[in-house]
Chain A
Amino acid sequence: MSREWKIKAVLVIITAAVMAIGGFQLYSHRHYMTPIIAGPGVTKATKLSEFFKGLKGTKADTNVFFLEGKEEGGKILIIANTHSNEPAAILTALVFLENAVVDKGTLIIIPQFNNSGGRNTKPGDGYPLYFEIPTEWGNKKFRMGNRNASPLDQWPDPDVYIHYPDRQLLSYLDVRNTNRTWPGRPNGPLMEQVTYGAMQIMRQEKVDIAIDIHGAETMFPVTNCIVAPEKAMRIATMTSLTVKAREGFDNHVEPSPQGFRGLSHREIGDYSDALPFLLEAPTPFLDQPTGPKSVDFLLDGKDPFLVKLSKKRKLFVPYDETGWPMDKRVGQHCSVILEIIRQYSKKFPNKQLKIRNIPRYAEVVKNGVGHYFHNPNETDKKDIYYN
């Protein structure tokens, strides 16, 4: 064999090895299953494909949990991980799922709404593939996903995404973004089918409140807030004022823009009877001018570059060396959701919701979010679901 062909053979072997090692890591991440424990309040576990059959057998199908009270009352839907790179959402949803006891009304939870996005990553930004939350019984491991669904599940992307039904022109990437594809349609791209499935839940179950949990950059003005359309504005405002007065944290209200289509806080309100709320907690990990996107940074939200920017008043939230830890983000989400429920129940006494056993902001910050997760090894197998 000539020297030239020896070099070529070595290069082919190296390329194949890189493909195999990298491919194996990505394959493992895509197929990693997180145990989700159905707590004492869960009365029914089903799939999104129960509400729209077209999702059955696809990577977009996902778990839907019902927590039904003994007394009839209002119905609330909590959607988490619409964007899977905003993981305070799934952690909050699991706090509710594993602990909530519903006395009146119905709580519906979708912990991993964009299931395909939760199995995607962002290698160009150096995203970690997993993160772990410390608990009293060890670490609970989660996949770190991406904002958009994987192109492996929905492909090809269009040059421009034409929103349905308003025909607004959006970025081509937004065709895989389940916070741009609302209200969806049964024969559209896969992510439009996902949002259509959720709309079907809201229509069939006559959901009163829909909460979509998110996280946003500290350099983005729509952060640390509740986004609500006109019809949900009063409850959002009362919630914001109450958590500030009673629990001491800011969470301002942003109006849902009428001219920006496809977002949950706009389309759910326009295409169903539910009152939509989108919750944003500051997520420094999502900011661009930061250090490495490490797991520590994801969890503690500490970054020296953001501290400098904060001193120059470039951030939209207070920020210092203490960062913006995950416990604080999850605690805020828990309190805001509980307060929205309380305000709704006050305004509509015939559709009251009574949910207990959920910690509020100060408790989550004090105990850590891992305190509220149960050990899968000590749980009855029938109560464990995988996502």
Chain B
Amino acid sequence: MPVIMITYYVICVYLIGMLVWNFIREKKSVNDMILYLTVLIPLILRVFRIK
């Protein structure tokens, strides 16, 4: 696997962690919770290689 590909996966995992963390910390805004989950979708598909 080329270095650039590994870098992409590392970035994806980092972003997933940040989004999940923000989703857990969010107390009031349902709108923000939906946005965090929506943004998570492509990142999860990438990391788990779901085609």
Contact = CB atoms under 8 A, between A and B. Distances in A.
Contact of B33 (A11, A27, A30, A156): A11
Interface string B1-19: 0001100100000000000
Task: Please classify the interface of chain B as helix (H, G, I), strand (E, B), loop, or mixed, using the class held by over half of its residues.
Answer: helix
Given A30-B51, A156-B8, A19 B41 contact: yes
Contact of B50 (A15, A23, A156): A23
Interface residues of A, number: 12
B33 A7 contact: yes
Contacts of A11: 30, 33-34, 37
A8 B41 contact: no
Interface string A26-45: 01001000000000000000
Interface string A176-210: 00000000000000000000000000000000000
Interface of A: 4, 7-8, 11-12, 15, 19, 23, 27, 30, 152, 156
Given A7-B33, A156-B4, 15 more contacts: A11-B30, A11-B33, A11-B34, A11-B37, A12-B37, A15-B37, A15-B38, A15-B40, A15-B41, A19-B41, A23-B50, A27-B51, A30-B51, A152-B51, A156-B8
23 contacts: A4-B27, A7-B30, A7-B33, A8-B23, A8-B33, A11-B30, A11-B33, A11-B34, A11-B37, A12-B37, A15-B34, A15-B37, A15-B38, A15-B40, A15-B41, A19-B41, A23-B50, A27-B51, A30-B51, A152-B51, A156-B4, A156-B5, A156-B8
Interface of B: 4-5, 8, 23, 27, 30, 33-34, 37-38, 40-41, 50-51
